[in-house]
Amino acid sequence: MNNNSVTSDANPIAGRNDLSISFVFITFNEEKNIGRALESIKDTADEIIILDSGSADKTLEIASKYGAKIYHNKFAGFASQKNKAISYAGKDYIFILDADEELTPGLKDWIAAFKALKLESRFYEAAGFYAPRKSSFLGRWINYSGWFPDYTLRLIKRGAGAFKKARVHESLEVNGAVIKIDKHNYMRHYTYDSLEQYFDKFNSYTSLAARDLLDHGAKPSAAKILFNPVFGFLKQYFIKRGFLDGFHGLLLAILSAFYVFVKYCKLYFLARTVDEIDNK
């Protein structure tokens, strides 16, 4: 529950024969991905909102071809940028989609049934919906490893939700009930194509995650540095059955454990720096 969210609109199905959905994107140099995402929603979206933060490639040219409403805003964090983007949406519901994602036919069929008021009444009483997501990693779709179904809150009643600020992995929160869409009706998520691409983001993401931990009062310890990565590996590879994803599953478990290790190491040095400043 997010107490900062705007109060949701009145019941949108009262006296209605159908519902409308705005699809919202934030973009920056996404010409590689945006066309695929827009192609997947062209027959589903009643409105497409693009909030761009200074793309210098063909992102906006591609978006224009799909009739998107394009806005511009200087990037100041993922949460604030996405909140700004959804403020432009004018339809009954809002679907937040990333440029490197796309709808599958199953999810499009579910949305069509939802818009046509053909689902159970409980779906129209909900303020938000968790959409399942299947991700690719180095060219392979990951079916286990805790990656599928990766439920993320994406479809919300207009006015019912907002993103909570975080340096990485911002979260969408709503005022009201939420429902999970069946895992067979999922989004596709195209993640890293190469290890080079993965490690390009690795350093900044671990630094931001460590800073978030510090801001939330987390204390560094040898136990967290040593045991959290090990537990994370065991959980992802064995409990989450990452071994069924073959070599990719093993690699993911190792990289995830290393991510946790580096994050807590950075937290340790950040905390030391803060203590030194405070003791001066």
Q: Is 70 helix (H, G, I), strand (E, B) or coil?
A: strand
Report residue 198 as tokens.
């993965």
Strands 101-103 and 187-190: antiparallel
The terminus-to-terminus CA distance of the chain in angstroms comes to 40
pLDDT < 70: residue spans in the chain: 1-12, 279-280
Residue 10 has a pLDDT of 52
Domain spans in the chain, listed from the N-terminal domain onward: 21-190, 195-278
- CATH class of the 21-190 domain in this structure: alpha beta
pLDDT tens-digit map of 164-175? 988 877 899 999
* Res 130: pLDDT: 98
Spatial separation of the C-alpha atoms in residues 137 and 220, rounded to whole Å: 31
pLDDT at position 4 is: 40
For residue 35, the Cα-to-chain-centroid distance in whole angstroms is 18
d(CA 61, CA 38): 12
Looking at residue 12, what is its pLDDT?
61
Q: Using an 8 Å Cβ cutoff, are 77 and 163 in contact?
A: no
What integer pLDDT is reported at residue 3 of this predicted model? 40
